[in-house]
Amino acid sequence: MSTSVGRSTSPEPEITDPITTAKTLRNRVRAASLVGTTIEFYDFYVYATAAVAVFPALFFTGEDETAKLLASMATFGAAFIARPIGSVLFGHFGDRVGRKVTLIGALLTMGIATILIGLLPTYYSIGLWAPIILTILRFCQGLGLGGEWSGAALLATEYAEEGKRARAAMWPQLGAPFGFILANGFFLILTVLMGFTTLADSGDSHAFLVWGWRIPFIASIVMVLVGLYVRFSLEETPVFKTAVERSEPVKSPVIEVFKTSWLQIIQGTFIMLATYVLFYLMTAWILSYGIGSGEVGGLGIPYRNFLVVQLIAVVLFAATIPVSGWLADKYGRRSSLLVITGGIVVFGFLFGWFINPENLGTGDDLSMVRLVVFLGLGMALMGLTFGSMSAVLPELFPTNVRYTGSGIAYNVASILGAALTPYAAVWLNASYGVSAVGMYLSAAAVITFVALWLSPETRHVDMVEVGNK
């Protein structure tokens, strides 16, 4: 019997190429940030679509259609009040415990609230409790999204290659148009299969209003499970690991961020303002304007037809997000955004010319080409301004308060630019006409232009060293 002294029978260690490993990690991060934000925005937009076409009939009473729509829009706005709270709550854990576990919590919060909305009895079953519970669940959706975006943006930027941070950061931004396409596409398929057009044409006992609208909400459970699978496979970001090694995480990130980075919060909030106003005019408000009857100042377009037009326009939104990242890396965040924001100012002045009923027409006489051009232009501008934001805001803050700071700025802007926008636009259109809605957008864009002008260029900042002086 012979033995082999000093010879190991274990397999040879596998040699791993560090470049290949880094690429694999970045690809995994891109997938995780894209999948996660797609799910979160899907949940958010499912509600936005239902808030215009379904909830006024099922959760609010009265004869005044405008009043019911405004009440539904008010519950829609509740999420935007919750989003800064969510950014503080999830930001606290994201800056102290880590990005990965916090993002899982945000995804669960959003997903569970969405599923429960799909199971909620209407006003005709439980009375006033229906709109009350609906508002609470909408608030919970806002909490989840308040923690989601900044964490996904940090995943992308803190893993990014040098000089390609804005292009890496555009991946979570693509979740917005992808989520919108999934949400509205789902509603479009259901309305086609179930033969639903509008409440006025179909009646309040139509199967879509009885149970069909619930399917996109309940189906969120499948997407949440996919998102959890992807996010559990991630590792913590190298920038956060470096901060932990340096013992930089602070006990109370929210106190620290207001003590050391209050100016950056103000800058980030107003940099995001025009983006929010533009987006919610081009999605939530324009849907109510498009399908609204002429008696309430709308265009009288069948609900299903308008969803098709919106989906066509959102493709331009998705297509221009990568362009935005490329421009921000090549020419700088501040320079590219100043030009794009100037374009938004001009676009606001064109609302009356494009979509005033006297110019555009209504119902069967409406110029669909003109409407598609208007929506396409608005969505293209949206992609160009939104695409680099997940690089711009995180670059303003140090690692130990980056989750909290970028989240607060992003979500306080949501109150100023999004929570009020659909409500204000409905009122402005009813009181002064559609040109006033455009002026509202232009005013917001001027404020953003000034904020950008007064802010620093962040293209070359070191994500590890920013704020460490």
Distance, CA of 408 to CA of 349 (rounded, Å): 30
pLDDT, residue 451, reads: 97
For a pLDDT cut of 90, what percent of the chain falls above it?
32
Token pair listed for 275: 């983006």
**Could you tell me where the DSSP H helices lie in 97-219?**
99-118, 123-126, 129-158, 165-194, 199-202, 207, 214-218
Over residues 246-265, the mean pLDDT reads: 81
The per-residue pLDDT for range 352-405, each reduced to its tens digit, is 999 999 899 888 888 999 999 999 999 999 999 999 998 999 999 987 888 889
pLDDT of the residue at 64: 67
Highest mean pLDDT among 99-103, 119-123, 197-201, 305-309: 119-123
* pLDDT at residue 7, as a whole number: 45
Tokens of residue 276, six digits = 């929010």
Whether 459 maps to a domain, the answer reads no
- Domain residues for 172? 23-453
Flag whether 4 is in a domain: no
Residue 341 in contact with residue 276, Cβ under 8 Å?
A: no
Residue 251 belongs to domain with CATH number: 1.20.1250.20
Q: b/e map of 255-282 (b: 16 or more CB within 10 Å)?
A: ebbeebbeebbebbbbbbbbbbbbbbbb
Q: Tokens 């029978």, residue? A: 9
Q: Is residue 194 part of a domain?
A: yes
| 433 vs 444: CA distance, rounded Å | 18
Amino acid found at 234: L
Cβ-based neighbour number of residue 65 at 10 Å: 17
2: left (phi over 0), alpha (psi -120 to 50) or beta: beta
Q: Is the pLDDT of residue 148 over 50?
A: yes
Total domains present in the chain: 1
- 3-state per-residue secondary structure call for 257-284: HHHHCHHHHHHHHHHHHHHHHHHHHHHH
The tens digit of pLDDT for each residue in 198-255 reads: 555 545 678 888 889 999 999 989 888 888 887 777 776 666 677 666 666 667 788 8
342 falls within a domain: yes
Give domain status of residue 12, yes or no: no
pLDDT higher than 80, residue 77:
no
Long-range contacts of 289-297 (CB under 8 A, 24+ apart): 289/355, 289/425, 289/429, 289/434, 290/371, 291/52, 291/53, 291/198, 292/69, 293/65, 293/200, 294/357, 294/362, 294/363, 296/65, 296/66, 296/69, 296/430, 297/357, 297/429, 297/430, 297/433, 297/434
pLDDT confidence of 455, banded at 50, 70, 90? very high
Reported as a single tens digit per residue, the pLDDT across 415-437 is 888 778 888 998 899 889 999 99
Residue 133: the pLDDT is: 92
Q: Is residue 243 part of a domain?
A: yes
Residue 63 pLDDT > 80, yes or no? no
Distance CA 392, CA 390 (A): 6
Interior angle at CA 146, CA 143 and CA 150, nearest 5: 150
Q: Specify the pLDDT at position 16.
A: 46
The residue length of the chain stands at: 469
Dist CA 406 CA 172 (whole Å): 14
pLDDT of residue 199: 54
At residue 106, the pLDDT reads 87
Mean pLDDT across 74-83 = 79
How much is the pTM? 0.80
Between 232 and 342, name the one with better pLDDT.
Answer: 342
- pLDDT for 8 beyond 60: no
Least confident stretch, 60-69, 91-100, 284-293: 60-69
| C-alpha dihedral, 59 to 63 to 67 to 69, nearest 10° | 50
Write down the pLDDT at residue 36: 78
The answer to whether residue 121 sits within a structural domain is yes
